[in-house]
Amino acid sequence: MTSRLESELHAQPAALRSFLTTGAAAAAAVRELAAATCGVVIAARGSSDNAARYARYLVPLVAEREVTLATPSLLTAYGAAPTVWRRLVVGISQSGRSPDIVAVLRDARERGAPTLAVTNDPASDLAAQADLILPLHVGEERSVAATGTYTASLAAVAVLAAGLAPEPAAEALLADLDRVPDLVERALGVDVDEAVEVFGASWRGVTVGRGVNLATAHEAALKLTELTGSLVTPFSPADLRHGPIGAVGPATPVLLVAPDEAASASVLDLRAELRERGAPVVVTGPDLPGPLPGLVSPIVAVVPAQKLAWRLALARGVDVDAPGGLHKITETE
Amino acid sequence: MTSRLESELHAQPAALRSFLTTGAAAAAAVRELAAATCGVVIAARGSSDNAARYARYLVPLVAEREVTLATPSLLTAYGAAPTVWRRLVVGISQSGRSPDIVAVLRDARERGAPTLAVTNDPASDLAAQADLILPLHVGEERSVAATGTYTASLAAVAVLAAGLAPEPAAEALLADLDRVPDLVERALGVDVDEAVEVFGASWRGVTVGRGVNLATAHEAALKLTELTGSLVTPFSPADLRHGPIGAVGPATPVLLVAPDEAASASVLDLRAELRERGAPVVVTGPDLPGPLPGLVSPIVAVVPAQKLAWRLALARGVDVDAPGGLHKITETE
**pLDDT for res A142:** 81
Q: Which one, of A100, A123, A147, A151, lies nearest residue A310 by Cα?
A: A147
Neighboring chain B residues of A222 at a CB cutoff of 8 Å? 243-244
Neighboring chain B residues of A71 at a CB cutoff of 8 Å? 56-57, 60
Structure confidence by residue, pLDDT tens digits, A90-117: 999 999 999 999 999 999 999 999 999 9
**pLDDT for res A5:** 95
Task: Please state the domain extents for chain A.
Answer: 4-186, 193-315
**pLDDT for res A333:** 42
**pLDDT for res A327:** 63
Q: Which one, of B153, B160, B116, lies nearest residue B138 by Cα?
A: B153
Structure confidence by residue, pLDDT tens digits, B34-51: 999 999 999 999 999 999
**pLDDT for res B141:** 80
A236 to B66: CB separation less than 8 angstroms, yes or no: no
- Write phi, then psi, for A169 (nearest 5 degrees): -60, -40
Q: Report the relative pairing of strands A281-284 and B39-44 from DSSP bridges.
A: unpaired
Neighboring chain A residues of B232 at a CB cutoff of 8 Å? 233
**pLDDT for res B311:** 98
In terms of CA atoms, which chain A residue is nearest residue B294? A78
Neighboring chain B residues of A319 at a CB cutoff of 8 Å? none
pLDDT band for A82, please (50, 70, 90 cuts).
confident
B82 to A66: CB separation less than 8 angstroms, yes or no: yes
Same fold, A4-186 and A193-315: yes
Closest in B60, B225, B247 to A80, CB measured:
B60
Residue B190 pLDDT exceeds 60: yes
Nearest 5 degrees, angle CA B184-CA B254-CA B232? Answer: 85
The arrangement of secondary structure in A4-186, i.e. its CATH architecture, is: 3-Layer(aba) Sandwich (3.40)
d(CA B182, CA B188): 10
Chosen from A5, A38, A47, A73 to mutate, greatest number of chain B CBs within 10 A: A73
Chosen from B231, B270, B318 to mutate, greatest number of chain A CBs within 10 A: B231
In terms of CA atoms, which chain A residue is nearest residue B250? A229
pLDDT band for B174, please (50, 70, 90 cuts).
very high
Neighboring chain A residues of B245 at a CB cutoff of 8 Å? 324, 326
Tell me the nearest-neighbour CA distance from A1 into chain B, angstroms. Answer: 23
B45 to A246: CB separation less than 8 angstroms, yes or no: no
Structure confidence by residue, pLDDT tens digits, B304-316: 999 999 999 999 9
A68 to B64: CB separation less than 8 angstroms, yes or no: no
What is the mean predicted confidence (pLDDT) over A65-82? Answer: 90
DSSP A83: P
Closest in B242, B248, B252 to A330, CB measured:
B242
Structure confidence by residue, pLDDT tens digits, B13-25: 999 999 999 999 9
Tell me the pTM. Answer: 0.96
Closest in A80, A233, A330 to B231, CB measured:
A233
Q: Residues A92, A253: contact at Cβ < 8 Å?
A: no
Tell me the nearest-neighbour CA distance from A98 into chain B, angstroms. Answer: 10
Q: Would you identify the CATH topology of the domain A193-315? A: Rossmann fold (3.40.50)
Least confident window among A200-204, A245-249, B139-143, B257-261: B139-143
**pLDDT for res B262:** 94
**pLDDT for res A81:** 83
**pLDDT for res A140:** 84
Neighboring chain B residues of A39 at a CB cutoff of 8 Å? 83
pLDDT band for B83, please (50, 70, 90 cuts).
confident
Q: Residues A11, A139: contact at Cβ < 8 Å?
A: yes
A262 to B78: CB separation less than 8 angstroms, yes or no: yes
Neighboring chain B residues of A46 at a CB cutoff of 8 Å? 238-239, 242-243
**pLDDT for res B82:** 82
**pLDDT for res B333:** 42
A65 to B83: CB separation less than 8 angstroms, yes or no: yes
Residue A74 pLDDT exceeds 60: yes
Neighboring chain B residues of A57 at a CB cutoff of 8 Å? 71, 73-74, 78
Q: Which residues fall within 8 angstroms of residue A113, CB to CB, at 6 or more apart?
A: A37, A84, A85, A87, A88, A89
Closest in B39, B205, B211 to A78, CB measured:
B211
pLDDT band for A30, please (50, 70, 90 cuts).
very high
C-alpha dihedral (A321, A322, A324, A326), degrees to nearest 10: 140
pLDDT band for A329, please (50, 70, 90 cuts).
low
**Percentage of residues of chain B with pLDDT beyond 90:** 89
User: What is the rounded average pLDDT for all residues in chain A?
Assistant: 95
Closest in A145, A241, A249 to B330, CB measured:
A241
Residue A230 pLDDT exceeds 70: yes
d(CA A187, CA A195): 15
Structure confidence by residue, pLDDT tens digits, A129-139: 999 999 998 98
**pLDDT for res B132:** 98
Residue B330 pLDDT exceeds 90: no
Closest in B60, B82, B222 to A244, CB measured:
B222
What is the mean predicted confidence (pLDDT) over B128-141? Answer: 93
pLDDT band for B329, please (50, 70, 90 cuts).
low
Closest in A74, A247, A263 to B73, CB measured:
A263
**pLDDT for res B328:** 58
Return the HEC string of B174-195: HHHHHCHHHHHHHHCCCCCHHH
Structure confidence by residue, pLDDT tens digits, B54-75: 999 999 999 999 999 998 889 8
Closest in A60, A236, A243 to B326, CB measured:
A243
Closest in B45, B68, B238 to A45, CB measured:
B238
A222 to B243: CB separation less than 8 angstroms, yes or no: yes
Chosen from B37, B62, B65, B71 to mutate, greatest number of chain A CBs within 10 A: B71
**pLDDT for res A172:** 98
User: What is the rounded average pLDDT for all residues in chain B?
Assistant: 95
Distances (CA, A) of A121 to A58, A92, A138, A149, A216: 25, 11, 9, 11, 24
Tell me the nearest-neighbour CA distance from A285 into chain B, angstroms. Answer: 17
Nearest 5 degrees, angle CA A308-CA A313-CA A317? Answer: 150
Tell me the nearest-neighbour CA distance from A153 into chain B, angstroms. Answer: 17
In terms of CA atoms, which chain A residue is nearest residue B269? A332
**pLDDT for res B106:** 97
